[in-house]
Structure formats: C-alpha cells, structure tokens
Amino acid sequence: KRKIIIDTDPGQDDAVAILLALSSPEDVDVLGITAVAGNVPLSLTQKNARIICEAAGKSDTKVFAGCDRPMARDLVTAEYVHGKTGLDGPELWEPQMPLQDGHAVDFIIETLRTEPPGTVTLCPLGPLTNIATAFTRAPDIVERVQEIVLMGGAYFEVGNVTPSAEFNIYVDPQAADIVFKSGVPIVVMPLDVTHKVLVTKPRNDAFRAFDSKVGLFVAEMTDFFERFDREKYGSEGAPLHDPTVIAYLIKPELFSGRHVNVEIETESELTLGMTVADWWGVTKRAPNAMFMGDVDADGFFTLLTERLARL
Ligand code: BDR
Ligand code: CA
C-alpha cells in the first residue's frame, strides 16, 4: 500500500481521480491533498478539492492550498473546458470541512521529511508548481520521494492547449523542467494514454446506475466535461486524464510504455511546454521517465466503476 500526496487543480477529471483514491484504502493512503492553480484559480481548486472529499464522505481528508500562480509566468486557466467553477455539471455546495492551516508546499516538505525515506509517492494532476517549489526550497526532500506518478505531456497526440503542448506542462513549464530534471523516478500519463479512456454513454450510465450521491456526481461531471471534447474533437466521450494516475498505483499492469528521456521546452514561444520524449532512443540522454503509451481502457473502467460504487 502506497502513501500518496495528491497535488491537484480540480477539474472534473481530477475529481474522479480523487474519488478513486479515496475509495481504495487498501491500495493507497492519502496523506493529504494539495491544491494548485490550474484549470481554475486557486480559490476555486482548494474549494473544489474539499467539495469532492465531502461528496466521498471523507471530510477528514487534509486539504491544503498551495501556489496561486506558476513560477515564472502568468496563470493560464481552462474554464472553456471545465466551466466557470472548474467542476461544472453537478450542483455544487459550500464545503463545510476546513482548509488546513499552512501552505501546501510546507506540507509537502514536512511530510517528506517526517515519513521514512522512499515511502511517499507524489501524484501531480495539475501544473507542477507546488512540487517544483518544494524541491527548490528544500532540496533535501528530493531523494526521499519514492516516485512521482503524474498526468501531463504528450508524444504522438502532441498538444491540447497549443499545437505542441499539453495543458499541465504548458501552464508551468519551468516547474515541469525542475521536476523532470530532479532525478526522482517518474511515471508519466500523457495524452497518448488519457485520450484512450473515454467516458462513453454506457460507461456514464454505469456511474448513474449506482443510484448514489457519488454516482450522480460523477455522471453529471463527465456529462459536462464531455461536451467540450465532443464539440471540439468529435470524441465519443470525456477523456479521464487524471484518474489514470491513481489507476496506475492500483493496477500498473493496465498500462504500458517506455523508459525514455523526457525534456521540457521552456524557451520557444512556438513549442513552449512541449514534452520532448526520446521515444525512439535517438539521443544518448539518460532515461528519466517511464512514458506511458497505451492502456487497457476496459480494464481501467472496470476498476473505476467497481471502486466508485463503494462510496
Ligand atoms: C489536464 O489538464 C486539465 O485540464 C485536466 O484536469 C488534466 O489534468 C489534461 O491536459
Ligand atoms: Ca488536472
């Protein structure tokens, strides 16, 4: 069983990832959830994180607010995908559970310093600002991280926010660069994987059929999220980007990829935030990440449906 910190910018797909983690106590122990600015500003992502915990009936989960802007650029948000609240779809409420005192970056640093080395996995589901800020401020924690399993980047699928970049990496390329150069073992779930896990109509119906608060919450979120992808890409369902990270921790055999070198473009205006993955091994650069390329989508949805039905 892994101890994890979920670093997130919810986001409907972030929400499903958090629900998957909170419904899987035999596989993951969620030490805390750290919110970051991304899909929507921090004031909303920290609030959304608490709404999601309450929806799961886990209001004892620790939620911290982190960085409200990228390290070196202005914040770019994605209301055009996720709606004004970031969680458009279901009817939302004012969360009752508290936001923890203290900054998310301090929580990440303190947790890594107190837990035994090599026992905490970081799960970034948004821009990498909180993680890179923690690594920069407390370089001693870097070697204590067990692994980073993140959603971000793309190879064959290239970009979703610019022709060459994926949203999470594009929003804070400087942070991504720090993380990919950190030396921590990294597993990457790029668009190449996440565009294969689509919430089709029958999969959405399966959530609705739980006849529970969470079932309806997830169905209404993925209904909303789907609209954007259907209209824009003609896709047959919402891509569940972020839940692939948690699914990997539970069932890594659902995924396959290559251990390759990945570098982040931080300068070029044209290709800012591109994840330059040496998929064909054409350089001598040392591999620094397990870059996933494929997923068993049916296996993924079987797992997700089984787990969410518990809540
Ligand atoms: C990523 O960007 C966000 O909009 C999603 O939550 C996901 O983390 C996909 O590019
Ligand atoms: Ca996200």
Instruction: Please tell me if the CB atom of residue 229 comes closer than 6 angstroms to any atom of ligand 1.
Output: no
284 CA to middle of ligand 1, Å? 31
Cis upstream peptide for 183 (omega within 30°) = no
ipTM: 0.99
Residues in the chain: 311
Q: Please report which helix (H) or strand (E) contains residue 148, including its range.
A: strand 145-151
108 CA to middle of ligand 2, Å? 18
- Mutation choice for ligand 1 from 18, 189, 241, CB with most ligand atoms inside 8 A: 241
> pLDDT tens-digit profile of 103-121?
999 999 999 999 999 999 9
Instruction: Please tell me if the CB atom of residue 192 comes closer than 6 angstroms to any atom of ligand 1.
Output: no
Instruction: Please tell me if the CB atom of residue 193 comes closer than 6 angstroms to any atom of ligand 1.
Output: no
**Binning pLDDT at 50, 70 and 90, where does residue 73 land?**
very high
> pLDDT tens-digit profile of 26-72?
999 999 999 999 999 999 999 999 999 999 999 999 999 999 999 99
166 CA to middle of ligand 2, Å? 11
Q: Identify the pLDDT of residue 230.
A: 74
> pLDDT tens-digit profile of 258-304?
999 999 999 999 999 999 999 999 999 999 999 999 999 999 999 99
- Mutation choice for ligand 1 from 6, 8, 13, CB with most ligand atoms inside 8 A: 13
CA distances from 109 to 4, 102, 135, 149, 196 (A): 13, 12, 8, 18, 34
CA distances from 69 to 65, 74, 92 (A): 12, 7, 25
- Mutation choice for ligand 1 from 39, 88, 188, CB with most ligand atoms inside 8 A: 39
Nearest CA to ligand 1 atom 4: 39
Q: Identify the pLDDT of residue 228.
A: 75
Instruction: Provide the mean pLDDT of the chain.
Output: 97
pLDDT of 11 above 90 = yes
125 CA to middle of ligand 2, Å? 4
**Binning pLDDT at 50, 70 and 90, where does residue 225 land?**
confident
Residue 242 CA: nearest ligand 1 atom is: 8
Nearest CA to ligand 1 atom 6: 11
Instruction: Please tell me if the CB atom of residue 160 comes closer than 6 angstroms to any atom of ligand 1.
Output: yes
> pLDDT tens-digit profile of 160-172?
999 999 999 999 9
SS3 content of the chain, % helix, strand, coil (to 5): 40, 20, 40
d(CA 173, CA 247): 25
User: Which ligand places an atom closest to the C-alpha of 7?
Assistant: 2
Provide the annotated active-site residues.
241
CA distances from 167 to 37, 39, 141, 157, 175 (A): 12, 9, 27, 13, 13
Residue 82 CA: nearest ligand 1 atom is: 4
